[in-house]
């Protein structure tokens, strides 16, 4: 059962690195540079969020506004600790960010993922959450690894 979902705080960083290590989304050491502007700049439009279970972060999400757009955000990262996968945490995280963006008048959320076979469950997850596959960019990440772009309209 998912507890509270809230904005990331600086004190969450050690536990968020454990989430990243467990989920293998990206190497945990990259987090410090990625989240630095968000933590140090009150004007940042980035959104970092986490689900809390038994007082500890068990997930991480990162969303940012697309430049030169009105009301379009991109979900750059979402991961759930392996011990919490399959318990609805990811779905609740998606509902949280969609509600937050919609509440602030934003129109669209884009999510991107790899075309590799090991990301098949990720792609199915986005479809289950109501996202529509809009594009495939061949060999985007590396040779043989396409970028798959999903889209969802937040305000209907």
What is the Cβ-side half-sphere exposure of residue 99, based on CA atoms within 13 angstroms? 9
Give Cα separations from 94 to 34, 40, 144 (angstroms): 20, 25, 28
Could you report the per-residue pLDDT of 36-83, keeping only the tens digit for each?
A: 999 999 999 999 999 999 999 999 999 999 999 999 999 999 999 999
Pairing of strands 72-80, 108-114: parallel
Query: Looking up tokens 């038994």, which residue turns up?
Result: 54
pTM: 0.93
Could you report the per-residue pLDDT of 88-140, keeping only the tens digit for each?
A: 999 999 999 999 999 999 999 999 999 999 999 999 999 999 999 999 999 99
Tokens of 44: 């940042």
């Amino acid at each position: 059962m998912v507890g509270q979902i809230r904005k990331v705080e600086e004190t969450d960083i050690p536990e968020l690195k454990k989430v990243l290590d467990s989920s293998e989304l990206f190497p945990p050491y990259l987090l410090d540079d990625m989240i630095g502007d968000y933590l140090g700049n009150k004007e940042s439009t980035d959104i970092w969020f986490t689900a809390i279970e038994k007082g500890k972060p068990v997930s991480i999400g990162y969303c940012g506004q697309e430049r030169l757009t009105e009301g379009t955000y991109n979900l750059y990262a979402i991961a759930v600790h392996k011990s919490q996968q399959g318990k609805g945490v990811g779905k609740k995280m998606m509902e949280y960010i969609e509600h937050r963006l919609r509440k602030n008048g934003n129109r669209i959320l884009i999510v991107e993922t790899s075309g590799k076979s090991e990301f098949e469950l990720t792609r199915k997850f986005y479809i289950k959450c109501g996202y529509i596959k809009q594009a495939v960019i061949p060999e985007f990440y590396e040779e043989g690894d396409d970028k798959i772009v999903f889209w969802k309209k937040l305000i209907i």
